[in-house]
């Protein structure tokens, strides 16, 4: 099943209203509708499974706490996506994660993080997952937000608290790296006959 954008996932208004009123079955229906796409988004951005579950739990708890504030101007999934992305970026910006990223010098790790790879049926999907896993967490988050979630460079820059050129350069480098992973022939030096 290809990625369903969380932002496009909606829930019927009456179910949201019932959930706001404390109806457990309505809350469970919202959980069933939004949880898989939320977990997918968090996994692509953060990577490590136990950490993803932690951020997922935080995100879903925040959803139910803030549900009465939901104004129904966009699908509920779009609203939840913002909460999930804020949680993921808060983790990526945390001093602990920054220290870890400094230790793992970018460009040195060629082997992808096995935990990032979802068991897939198609071999090209496995390749793309592995290529994605070779990126730094920041680059991976930028790629995912731009290519799949549809964020603009301006929006990504705002979310990261950085400049637009930060977003553009992260994306360009990530693309180059992923292309090199997917098509190693491209990076091989050409032979010239003299």
Partner 1 sequence: MHDDLEQRRTLAQLLRGLPQETAPPYGFREFQRRARRRAAGVRGVSVGQLLAASVLVALGIVAVSLRLAGPREHPLPVVSQSATADAPARAAATAPDTGSDALERLLASLPREPAVARVGERAAVIGLEDRIAQVDDLLSAARSSHAQPARVQKLQEERTRLVGALLQVRYAETLADASR
Q: Which of 53, 66, 68, 158 binds partner 1 (CB under 8 A)?
A: 53
If one asks whether residue 180 binds partner 1 (CB under 8 A), the answer comes out as no
Widest Cα–Cα separation across the chain: 79
- Cβ-count burial 120-136 (b if 16+ within 10 Å, e if not): eeeeeeebbbbbbbbbb
Distance between CA atoms of residues 158 and 173, nearest Å: 20
CB of 129 within 8 A of CB of 120?
Answer: yes
Give the phi and the psi of residue 12 in degrees, each rounded to 5.
Answer: -55, 145
If one asks whether residue 1 binds partner 1 (CB under 8 A), the answer comes out as yes
Residue closer to partner 1 (CB basis): 5 or 162: 5
Residue closer to partner 1 (CB basis): 3 or 193: 3
If one asks whether residue 155 binds partner 1 (CB under 8 A), the answer comes out as no
If one asks whether residue 151 binds partner 1 (CB under 8 A), the answer comes out as no
Extract the tokens encoding 72: 């129904």
Neighbours of 2 (CB within 10 A): 4
If one asks whether residue 124 binds partner 1 (CB under 8 A), the answer comes out as yes
| C-alpha count within 13 angstroms, C-beta hemisphere, residue 123 | 1
CB of 39 within 8 A of CB of 60?
Answer: no
If one asks whether residue 142 binds partner 1 (CB under 8 A), the answer comes out as no
Q: Which of 51, 78, 148, 164 binds partner 1 (CB under 8 A)?
A: 148
Number of residues written out for the chain: 194
Site string for partner 1, 73-112 (x = CB under 8 A): ----------------------------------------
CB of 153 within 8 A of CB of 167?
Answer: yes
Residue closer to partner 1 (CB basis): 92 or 130: 130
Residue closer to partner 1 (CB basis): 106 or 129: 129
Chain residues binding partner 1 by CB under 8 A are 1-4, 27-28, 31-32, 35-37, 39-40, 43-44, 52-53, 56-57, 60-61, 64, 118, 120-121, 124-125, 128-129, 132, 143-144, 147-148, 175, 178-179, 182
């Amino acid at each position: 099943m290809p990625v369903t954008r969380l932002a496009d996932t909606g829930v019927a208004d009456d179910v949201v209203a019932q959930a706001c009123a404390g109806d457990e079955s309505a809350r469970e229906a919202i959980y069933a509708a939004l949880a898989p796409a939320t977990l997918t988004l968090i996994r692509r951005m953060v990577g490590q499974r136990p950490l993803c579950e932690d951020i997922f739990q935080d995100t879903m708890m925040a959803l139910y706490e803030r549900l009465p504030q939901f104004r129904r101007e966009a699908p509920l999934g779009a609203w939840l996506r913002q909460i999930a992305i804020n949680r993921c970026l808060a983790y990526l910006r945390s001093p602990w994660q920054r220290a870890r990223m400094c230790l793992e010098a970018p460009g040195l790790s060629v082997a992808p993080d096995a935990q990032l790879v979802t068991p897939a049926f198609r071999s090209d999907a496995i390749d793309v997952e592995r290529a994605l896993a070779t990126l730094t967490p920041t680059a991976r988050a930028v790629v995912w937000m731009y290519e799949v979630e549809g964020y603009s460079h301006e929006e990504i820059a705002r979310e990261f608290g950085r400049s637009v050129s930060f977003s553009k350069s992260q994306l360009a480098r990530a693309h180059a790296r992923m292309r090199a992973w997917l098509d190693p022939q491209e990076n091989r030096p050409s032979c010239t006959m003299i």
